[in-house]
Amino acid sequence: ELNECASNPCLNAATCLNLVNQFKCICTDEFTGTHCQHGNDDDDDDDMMMKMIVAMMVMIVQTMLKVV
């Protein structure tokens, strides 16, 4: 039987489960992804984008109210 975890496919202190012809990474709370390659702080970029969109919408509404 081949050890699918022998090549250390899991990153960031994840635990590798050796399964039949495949592996499964069990990520720590801080990481996600097939190999635990994505940090959960990647969501911060989405949050920042949402804040920017909301700020722009507020500016547009304020501008529209001044025109009326």
What is the tens place of the pLDDT at every residue in 10-57? 999 999 999 999 999 999 999 999 999 998 875 566 666 777 888 888
Tell whether the model's pLDDT for residue 66 goes beyond 90. no
Distance CA(37)–CA(27), nearest Å, equals 9
Range of the domain at 37: 15-67
3 in a domain, yes or no?
no
Distance CA(25)–CA(31), nearest Å, equals 11
Please indicate, yes or no, whether the overall pTM of this predicted structure exceeds 0.75.
no
Q: What's the domain count of the chain? A: 1
61 in a domain, yes or no?
yes
2 in a domain, yes or no?
no
The string of pLDDT tens digits covering residues 19-32 is 999 999 999 999 99
**pLDDT of amino acid 67:** 65
